[in-house]
Amino acid sequence: MNMVIMMCLLATMIAPHQDLVSIDIASSQDVRELDALGVVINEVYRDHVVAEIGHDLYAEVARRGYVPVLLQQNIDEVYLKNFLDRSGRSQYLTYEQYRDSMVFFATNYEICHLETLGLSHYNRVLLVMRISDNADLDETEPAVHFEANVHGDEKIGWGVSFSMIKYLVEEYDNDPYVQQLVDSREIWIAPMVNTDGFVNHTRYNGRGVDLNRNWGWMWGNEYSCGSDFMSENEAWYFGEHFWRHPFVTYVSFHAGTIYISEPWSYTTYLQPPEQNLIHHLSQGYASNTGYPYGQGSIGMYPINGCTKDYDYGCGGEVGWSVEVCYQKTPSPDSIDVIFERDKPSMLWLMHKAGQGIHGLVTDSLGSDPLRAIILVGPSNWHSYSDEANGDFHRFYLPGTYDVTVMAPGYDPKVFEDVVVPSGTPDSSVYLDVQLVPNPYLPLYATRVMGTRYVSTSSNMTYPVWALFPNDGQAYQIDSGKWIVLAFDNPIRDGVGDDMTVYSTSASGSATVRVSNDWRGSWQTVGTATGLESSFDISATGLDSACYVRVEASGQFMLDAVEAPLLTGITEWGGGEAVVGAVSLMPTVVSSRTLLSIFNHDAQPHMLNVYNIAGQRVRELFVPAGRSEVSCTGMSAGVYFFTDTETQETQRIVVLK
C-alpha cells in the first residue's frame, strides 16, 4: 500500500476526539453555520445548542465568535467505554457478533428471513431481516421498516432495533398479539445501516460521509454529504430495498437528543402534505414514550438529503428519525430500559400499518401484477404498489377519499368516495384495481431519483410534480439546479422524435440528458425551451433510455417528460417474448400494429395459437429469420403462442 493511500485511510478511520459542549446562539442561523462547519448538533434550544466538536474545529469556531463551554471532554471515549462494558445484564455486540446473531436468527426461526443488501465500502455486510409468517415469500401484506445506526456512533439505536428482533422471535409462540402482527405484516428490521461507522465508532461511513445527508430528495449544500446524491453504498443499497418493498411507515433510530422528527427536514417554509396523518402516528408513538414530536426542520434544524425526506418525498412512505436518548451510546443497561419504552410504540406502528386503503393492481387482460402510482385525494400525495405482487398499502384515518391509480401504458383508474371505515385500530378498505392497457397513451416519468436542493423560501414546488403526464403542475428547477427522473418503461428510439419535455412557462431553458444508469454517464439530447420541446434520442447513440436528467440554465418549470409508447414499427413495454428459438414482438398488439417474429433457428418452426379457453385459433408457419404477421381478425384478448416442437409458450395481448 502506498504511503498516500495509507495516510488517507488513517485520516478517515481515526477521527479527532470530540468534546461535548454547550454553545450559545443568537438565532437559528447560528445552528446552520455551526452545522456547516462540521460541528455535530445534538440538542437545539432557543439560546444554545448542545453539540459535539472535534478538537480540530475549536480555532475556526472561535474565529467566528462562538464560545464552546465544555460539558464532557472526549465524549467519544465515554461512548467507547460504554460500548465495551461487559459488567452488566446487557451488552452491545460487536459487528461480527451482530452479523453472526442475524444469521443465527434466520437459521433457527422460521419467521426470520435474512437479506444481504450489499457491502459497505470496507466490505462489511449490510443486513436486513424480514419477520413474517412465510418469511421467505414476498406476500401482499402491509410492510413496516425499522432501522438504526445510520450514524455509527449512535449505538443505542442498534440496541433498540436488535432487541425488537429478539422480542418477536421469542414471543411469537407465546403472545397472540405478537403472533397476529407477525402473521399479518412484513416487518423489516435493519439494526446496523452504517457497519463501517459502527466499527470505527464514528457518525460517518467508511468514506467520511454523513449518510443522513446523502439521500436524493433536495441533496447538497451540507457538511460531508458525499460527492453526489446516493453516492454511498449504504444509501443506494437501502434505497433499492425501499423501492422493492414499499413500506407504510419507516423509522430510523438516532440518538443525541429526544425527539420524533417528522418530514420535512429540508424546509421550514413547507409543511408536508397530509401532516395530520403524520402527526396522528407521531402522537401514538409519543403516547408511550413521552418523546416530543414535530417537523424536523423546526423542532431540530434544517438539513438536506436526509432519509425520511427521501422516503416521504420520493416514495410516499411516512418516515421519521426517532431520537431515543441524549447519549448516543449510553451504558449497556440502558438498552433494555429504552427498548421497553419504545416497544409498545413500535408494535403499535406495526398494527396501524393495516389501517387505511389497501389494494392490488393488475393488468386487466393478463392479470399480471403492476407497479403503479397510487394518488389519494384530496392531497393527491403519491405512493407505489409493489413491483412483484402489485399490492399497495397506505395509512389513512377513517373517512372518505378519492383514489387514482396510474401506470404507464394503461388507462388511469379513479375510485371516488372510497370509505375507510372506523371501528378497529386497523380497519381498512380494499381495492381490486384492474388497469386496462392503452398503448396510445404516452409514457411518463414514474419516480424521482434525485434533485439538487433549491431555496425553499422562493420555491414552493415539489420535485414529484415533474412525474405523470403533462398536467399543468410543474416542478420549478432553479437556475443551475437539476432533477433526475426514472422511467419504468424505457424511452425508445423510433421514427422521428422520441420524447417531449413540457414546461408551464414560456421562459427558461434546460439541458436535457438521457442515460440507462442514473449515476450517468449522461448523453445530451438538446435544450428545452418554451412550453414544449421534442427530441430524437438517436443522436446520443442509445436505442433506449431509462433515466432523464433536466438541468436548468435559467429557472425552468418542468411539468412532465413524455414519450410515445408506440414508436415506428412498435415495441411495447417489456419488449419481446421468446418462444424457444422464436421471438415475438411486441407482446401487446392491436389491429393497427404488426406482430414481428424472428426465428433464430435455421429451420422453420410451427406455432399454435390458443385463446384463453384453450382452443386453437390459428397456426403460424414461421420461416427462419424475420417475418411479420397481422393480428387483424383476432378478437381482443390474451393468446398463447406455443412452439409445436419445444412446447414453449408465450403470452401475447391483442387489443381491439
Residue 443 contacts residue 535 (beta carbons within 8 Å): no
> With respect to Zn ion, which residue has the nearer C-beta, 255 or 403?
255
Least distance from Zn ion to the Cβ atom of residue 151, Å: 4
Helices 95-108, 155-171: inter-axial angle, 10-degree rounding: 20
Least distance from Zn ion to the Cβ atom of residue 195, Å: 15
Residue 228 contacts residue 374 (beta carbons within 8 Å): no
Residue nearest to Zn ion (CB): 254
Count residues binding Zn ion (CB under 5 A).
3
> Is residue 72 packed enough to be buried (19+ CB in 10 Å), middle (13-18) or exposed (0-12)?
middle
CA dist 405 → 246, 252, 382 (Å): 16, 29, 10
Least distance from Zn ion to the Cβ atom of residue 49, Å: 15
Least distance from Zn ion to the Cβ atom of residue 323, Å: 7
Which of helix, strand or coil describes residue 260?
A: strand
**According to CB under 5 A, which residues from 392 to 421 bind Zn ion?**
none
> With respect to Zn ion, which residue has the nearer C-beta, 264 or 401?
264
d(CA 278, CA 272): 9
d(CA 285, CA 460): 30
Which of 154, 225, 234, 233 is closest to 193 using CA atoms? 234
Q: What number of helices (H) and strands (E) belong to the chain? A: 13, 38
> With respect to Zn ion, which residue has the nearer C-beta, 151 or 155?
151
> With respect to Zn ion, which residue has the nearer C-beta, 321 or 383?
321
Which of 253, 406, 417 is closest to 322 using CA atoms? 253
Least distance from Zn ion to the Cβ atom of residue 284, Å: 22
Residue 329 contacts residue 93 (beta carbons within 8 Å): no
Residue 349 contacts residue 317 (beta carbons within 8 Å): no
Which of 312, 515, 317, 548 is closest to 445 using CA atoms? 548
Least distance from Zn ion to the Cβ atom of residue 153, Å: 8
**According to CB under 5 A, which residues from 154 to 183 bind Zn ion?**
154
Amino acid at 264: W
Least distance from Zn ion to the Cβ atom of residue 150, Å: 6
Least distance from Zn ion to the Cβ atom of residue 154, Å: 5
d(CA 498, CA 542): 12
Least distance from Zn ion to the Cβ atom of residue 326, Å: 12
> With respect to Zn ion, which residue has the nearer C-beta, 19 or 154?
154
Percent composition of the chain: helix, strand, coil (DSSP 3-state, to 5): 25, 35, 40
> With respect to Zn ion, which residue has the nearer C-beta, 202 or 533?
202
**Is the link from the previous residue into 521 a cis peptide, with omega within 30 of 0?**
yes
400: left (phi over 0), alpha (psi -120 to 50) or beta: beta
Residue window 227-266: x/- pattern of binding to Zn ion, with contact defined by CB under 5 A: ---------------------------x------------
> With respect to Zn ion, which residue has the nearer C-beta, 193 or 277?
193
213 makes contact with Zn ion (CB under 5 A): no
Question: Nine-digit cell at 224?
Answer: 460531508
d(CA 127, CA 101): 11
d(CA 42, CA 443): 45
d(CA 380, CA 383): 10
> With respect to Zn ion, which residue has the nearer C-beta, 321 or 385?
321
Q: Distance from first CA to last CA of the chain, Å, rounded?
A: 67
Residue window 286-325: x/- pattern of binding to Zn ion, with contact defined by CB under 5 A: ----------------------------------------
Residue 622 contacts residue 605 (beta carbons within 8 Å): yes
Least distance from Zn ion to the Cβ atom of residue 377, Å: 35
> With respect to Zn ion, which residue has the nearer C-beta, 254 or 452?
254
Which of helix, strand or coil describes residue 562?
A: strand
Helices 176-184, 155-171: inter-axial angle, 10-degree rounding: 100
> With respect to Zn ion, which residue has the nearer C-beta, 52 or 154?
154
Least distance from Zn ion to the Cβ atom of residue 74, Å: 19
> With respect to Zn ion, which residue has the nearer C-beta, 157 or 246?
157
> With respect to Zn ion, which residue has the nearer C-beta, 194 or 331?
194
**According to CB under 5 A, which residues from 116 to 155 bind Zn ion?**
151, 154
Helices 333-352, 176-184: inter-axial angle, 10-degree rounding: 60
Residue 573 contacts residue 370 (beta carbons within 8 Å): no
Residue 266 contacts residue 217 (beta carbons within 8 Å): yes
Amino acid at 202: T
Which of helix, strand or coil describes residue 498?
A: coil
Residue 128 contacts residue 188 (beta carbons within 8 Å): yes
> With respect to Zn ion, which residue has the nearer C-beta, 151 or 185?
151
Least distance from Zn ion to the Cβ atom of residue 349, Å: 19
> With respect to Zn ion, which residue has the nearer C-beta, 254 or 447?
254
> With respect to Zn ion, which residue has the nearer C-beta, 197 or 316?
197
Residue window 7-26: x/- pattern of binding to Zn ion, with contact defined by CB under 5 A: --------------------
d(CA 485, CA 373): 15
> With respect to Zn ion, which residue has the nearer C-beta, 303 or 335?
303
> What letters, b where the CB count within 10 A reaches 16 and e where it falls short, cover 21-46?
bebebeeeebbeebbeebbbbbbbee
Least distance from Zn ion to the Cβ atom of residue 251, Å: 13
Least distance from Zn ion to the Cβ atom of residue 35, Å: 13
d(CA 598, CA 339): 61
Least distance from Zn ion to the Cβ atom of residue 199, Å: 17
Q: Site residues (CB under 5 A) for Zn ion?
A: 151, 154, 254
